[in-house]
Copies of this chain bind each other. A is one copy, B any other.
């Protein structure tokens, strides 16, 4: 936790903030700031299940100018600022800091512009992801970023944390959807870098500073997004495989056969599927038990692009790579495959407390990693559940770990050490898509070299010399 001087004298700090804002703009709306008990509970925490923190004040600007006014006032009064999007983060990145100001983008919403011809869109940071997807669809186009929290998360938060999701294998992460952005620096300077061009090599591409920085360098206010052609059809299949080599073989074979048409490849270890099916009382997709499962999705475009998936899977089954496969004949059948993967979000409610991990690993070593990690966890907690699944095609493994014997007091720190130490040994990343926030900060050095962290600090000092912008997140304060 990072404290600010305002902690000692909150009333004085508040008065100073109010005065600075009043001086900044007489036209600012009276409800721009709320204080104390008037701050809604939802703004005190993200989805990380960490203890809530009540900030000094909550700002809810409706425009870039209001964001700039708040940041200028905070600069004048030396207050820390924590930007907030949809608050669906899992690493405490948007948790307020005590004595600081939470800067929520929840009112800075709306799609400002859709250019169907140029396949671009300008959106305000607080716009929910789902609204962005819908606006693209209405223009006959496609915004491919997709997460389970699409109705709650904001596009600004997606960009600020470089969110991933289900279609990274083909379309990349949030970063890859961004052509330009507007951000406000800690001193209140508005930086308009709302580029709409695919190619623009005019000096440093500063949008990349703010993307994935988790609000530690400035507050993103508007974003220019790139849109994609909308697939005419999606083919989905659920494949059963005998071993990990076959799983990698299937991924390679589908890449070679479909190229960019392969838009999802979700792997599930047997323990994952067995647990999900029994916990949620789902129908087992295959009569027999298999070692691995994969949901694959192929996108087709335009007229005459017939499905080639049945033939491809037929051949791969003849080759012995696949043991069994189901091809969805309807959208409902496809949704049933995806349910096996997406219902995991409800596992906590059904099974009780658990700890989940978001890890990046080279695909070639992911199976050995899972075995090693499970063995190490079970050496200390022999009853532990250790469920593995993830977007294998983009190096992303999710793990769910839970020791039933530990009940409501899951040994999170112990799990963390066992798992992150194994990640380091395997040359992996401690965060594939969730970010660092504060919960993963102690392990940053497991995945980044001291020299990399030193460069991060140079950038942080350059853009936020007073360290007031989302202090303590990503880097120690």
Q: Which residues of chain A have a CB within 8 Å of any CB of chain B?
A: 115, 117-119, 140, 161-162, 164, 168-170, 172-173, 175-176, 185, 189-193, 195-206, 208-209, 211-213, 228-231, 248, 252, 255-261, 299, 301-305, 308, 311-312, 360-364, 391, 393-396, 427-436, 440, 444, 447-449, 451-456, 458-463, 474-475
Contact A456 B304, beta carbon cutoff 8 Å: no
Residue of B169, B202, B395, B463 near A447 (CB, 8 A) is: B202
Known: A229-B259, A302-B256, A302-B308. A452 touches B193 (CB 8 A): yes
- List 5 A–B pairs whose Cβ atoms lie within 8 Å, in order of A's numbering: A173-B199, A200-B429, A203-B448, A302-B312, A304-B308
Closest B residue to A192 by CB, please name it: B449
Of residues A212, A231, A430, which shows the largest number of chain B Cβ atoms within 10 Å of its Cβ?
A212
Q: Report the bound CA distance from A211 to B208 in whole Å.
A: 10
Identical chains bound together, number:
2
Tell me the complex Cα distance, A205–B159, Å: 13
Q: Is there contact, CB below 8 Å, between B459 and A206?
A: yes
Return chain B residues, CB-CB under 8 Å to A429.
195, 197, 199-202
Q: Would A209 and B204 be within 8 Å (CB), given that A256-B229, A257-B302, A259-B260 are in contact?
A: yes
Q: Which of B185, B197, B258, B455 contacts A360 (CB 8 A)?
A: B197
Interface residue from B196, B395, B462 paired with A458 (Cβ < 8 Å): B462
Contact B257 A301 (CB under 8 A): yes
What is the minimal beta-carbon distance from A172 to any residue of chain B, in angstroms? Answer: 8
Q: Are A431 and B363 in contact (CB under 8 A)?
A: no
16 new A-B contacts at CB < 8 Å, known A117-B252, A209-B459, A228-B259: A115-B364, A118-B362, A140-B256, A161-B201, A191-B451, A193-B448, A199-B429, A200-B447, A201-B429, A203-B436, A203-B475, A206-B452, A229-B259, A231-B259, A257-B303, A303-B308
